[in-house]
Amino acid sequence: MMSEGSSFMKGMVLGGIFCLVMSFFENFNSGTHSEVHEHLHHHLKPLSKDELEKLSESQMSDLPLQVRVYCLIMVTPKLLVHWATANDTWSKHCDKSVFYTSESSKALEAVDLQEQDEWARLRKAIKHAYENAGDLRWFFVARPTTFAIIENLKYLVLDKDPSQPFYIGHTEKSGELDYVEYDSGIVLSYEAMRRLIEMFKDEDRCPERGHALWKTSEEKQLATCLKYSGVFAENGEDAQGKGLFNKKSVSSLISDSMGQNPADVVEACCSDMAITFAGMSPSQMQVLMYGVYRLRPYGHDFHDSLTFLPPKDSDND
Amino acid sequence: MKALGARSAFYVGFVVGTCTLYVLLRQVGFTRDLGSRESEAHEKSLLEMVKEENKNWKKERLALFNLNHPHHTGEDGTLADTLYKHVRILCWVMTGPNNLEKKARHVKATWSRHCNIVVFISSVDDPDFPTVGLNTKEGRDQLYWKTIRAFHYVMDKYGDEADWFLKADDDTYVIVDNLRWILASHSPEDPVYFGRRFKPYAKQGYMSGGAGYVLSKEALRRFVEGFRTKVCTHTSSVEDLALGQCMEKVGVVAGDSRDTLQRETFHPFEPESHLTGTFSKTFWYWNYCYYPIVQGPQCCSDLAVSFHYVNPSLMYLLEYYTYHLRAFGYKYRYQPSEPNVIQDFNAPAPGKVEIGDIEEKLGVEEQEGEKKSPRT
């Protein structure tokens, strides 16, 4: 009995030392790695006002045609109220918005993928979108629990070439993998979609049904497949470095700011050109719709170099 | 057997040791970071608060005088500035000593920065905040006393320094720039007041207290005069109704504050209720509104002036929605007409701009706007 006890203690001590050594090793490694990553365009910002003004007349007239967005909204009947809200609010500002569902619902229209597995469904939706893109070159993937301001998305990618691979959103790290967080929306350029769909054919590196004991989330599987095709996640931010893709609701971010920056709550909180917010209730989304597209102080104007017209047949924007 | 037992004990011990230390390391890493960051942030914010306040406000005679009309990076605020100089608004906010930190502080940090003058009305003088104490107690039954004394106070101290006098609660959010748009088409010499018009109990109706209401200089003069001649007295503690009845007696007109599409601008509830709520058929609101109630998105003007029952975090949220968040390049559906700015013929106040100048400025702006907007 005594020998067992002392073996146990020896084991514990050795285990502890092993852990310490491993964590130091890991820190050292990831430290150098993240530096390299920082060099590769990890942060993506929109054009500055000066740069916009320097563009020629012909460039300006081309831009609104180039930055047209195809929205893929991944729904399920369980999210019916959010689905209806997305349908009634922000998705009207996409050049084309298509709802992809796991099973059809009598209440709302969608492309029925008849697929319960989230990753398989995402793959099918991506393939469908690419085939039906027409001349649209930018793709935005979101759940109906996300609210997106498409005009600000267009502003972010205004000067980016969609025939280059772009994979943009709110980036997070999982070990070695940089991935775009799903809830705050995923932006893909035409070239990124093309490479991704090619990679779908590779059952080893980008399997449709995972063979592992545990399931990796779709956002990470997406990141992995894209990484193998040479496409890396980039964090969308404004000129001040504030994230444009938010995985929290506006009220949540305001509350955080009230705690951390009581002297300057609004300035420190969120970007003026924010693109997405997540985790909002349908009512909060209606208020956000009013707040973005209608409510404003008279006499304060922004003479933006580009104009986006409001969508037809809509009364809440 | 003994050797096997000892070996497995070793392995188990190894695993336990690794896991324990891993958890421990993560905790230590976490808390150390969090702790230092929080205390730093707190210190910085207190200093910043004091600095910010000294930059933008002049504290004088228990009121705040706005030194800069707040501007946003990248915006063209010429029109708003013109209205700021021409339509001077004194905002007085009904509050109390117990609500200074809870509510009034957030009013001070947000919408009241857009008023020309701000006075916080309380039952106690506080030279730091600053608040004015008006010889009243606290409580719902004191509301009309506070209101009467507040209007007398601002008339007495600031009567010459403003054209319009707004009353708001410390849970009202007001978009002062939009209020100026409405008021610019009226003269402060007209006996008129604006707010969310209710119909019962008064022939011409009265304005909801919580949604805020604004008196012209002439209306304020008549209110004060009414109390001097005892035409008006403290009739009840229902502040908004009592004031409305006094207004009627002294010949002040209850104005229509709706926008050019007949949409309401002053709101007695918060945005979510008006935009998404359906009020039950037996709710008092249906019988009170002077104009037809619209539920859903058309309830509220794009150029909304006020909302009520706004808690602190909603104040900052509305400030973000109104003055910060926008959709790049978006052309608003509602393009409001420019107000007819009326000149004061009696004695042009300092800083008043001639009509000709304003027209010129607006004309130039329109041209520039056209040059830059088109391509669709």
Nearest CA in chain A to B47: A263
Q: B306 and B212 in contact (C-beta within 8 Å)? A: yes
- A117: pLDDT strictly greater than 70: yes
Phi-psi region of B198 (alpha: psi -120 to 50; beta: other; left: phi over 0): beta
Using the Cβ of A297 and the Cβ atoms of chain B, whether some distance falls under 8 Å is answered with yes
B74 vs A contacts (CB less than 8 Å) = 49, 302
What pLDDT is stored for residue B45 in this prediction? 54
Classify strands A233-236 and A167-169 as parallel, antiparallel or unpaired: parallel
CA-only gyration radius of chain B, Å: 27
> pLDDT band for position B361 (50/70/90)?
very low
pLDDT digits (tens, 9 = 90+) for B204-262: 999 999 999 999 999 999 999 999 999 999 999 999 999 999 999 999 999 999 999 99
Burial of B376 (0-12, 13-18, 19+ CB in 10 A): exposed
Q: What percent of chain B has pLDDT over 90?
A: 63
Interchain contact, B83 vs A317, CB within 8 Å: no
What pLDDT is stored for residue A25 in this prediction? 74
Task: Note the ipTM here.
Answer: 0.86
Kindly state the average pLDDT of the residues B266-289.
90
CA-only gyration radius of chain A, Å: 22
> pLDDT band for position B302 (50/70/90)?
very high
What pLDDT is stored for residue B52 in this prediction? 58
Name which residue leads in pLDDT, B69 or A87: A87
Q: How far is the C-alpha of B26 from the C-alpha of B201, rounded, in Å? A: 67
What pLDDT is stored for residue B22 in this prediction? 78
B245: distance to nearest CA of chain A, Å? 32
B361-B367-B372-B376 Cα dihedral, nearest 10 degrees: 130
Q: How many CA atoms lie within 13 A of A85 on its CB side?
A: 21
pLDDT digits (tens, 9 = 90+) for A120-165: 999 999 999 999 999 999 999 999 999 999 999 999 999 899 999 9
What pLDDT is stored for residue A211 in this prediction? 62
Mean predicted lDDT score pLDDT of chain B: 85
pLDDT digits (tens, 9 = 90+) for A204-229: 999 988 666 667 899 999 999 999 99
> pLDDT band for position B282 (50/70/90)?
confident
Nearest CA in chain B to A287: B272
Helices (H) and strands (E) in chain A, counts: 11, 12
Cβ partners under 8 Å of residue A32, min gap 6: none
Q: How many CA atoms lie within 13 A of B192 on its CB side?
A: 15
Q: Which of B48, B304, B317 sits opposite A250 (nearest CB)?
A: B317
Q: Which of B114, B324, B327 sits opposite A149 (nearest CB)?
A: B327
B320 vs A contacts (CB less than 8 Å) = 250, 254, 266, 269-270, 291
- B188: pLDDT strictly greater than 80: yes
- B72: pLDDT strictly greater than 50: yes
B78 vs A contacts (CB less than 8 Å) = 299
What pLDDT is stored for residue B246 in this prediction? 97
Q: A232 and A40 in contact (C-beta within 8 Å)? A: yes
A69 vs B contacts (CB less than 8 Å) = none
Between the alpha carbon of residue B94 and those of residues A246, B153, B269, the distances in Å are 36, 13, 17
> pLDDT band for position B6 (50/70/90)?
confident
CA-nearest of A267, A251, A260 to B310 is A251
Using the Cβ of A295 and the Cβ atoms of chain B, whether some distance falls under 8 Å is answered with yes
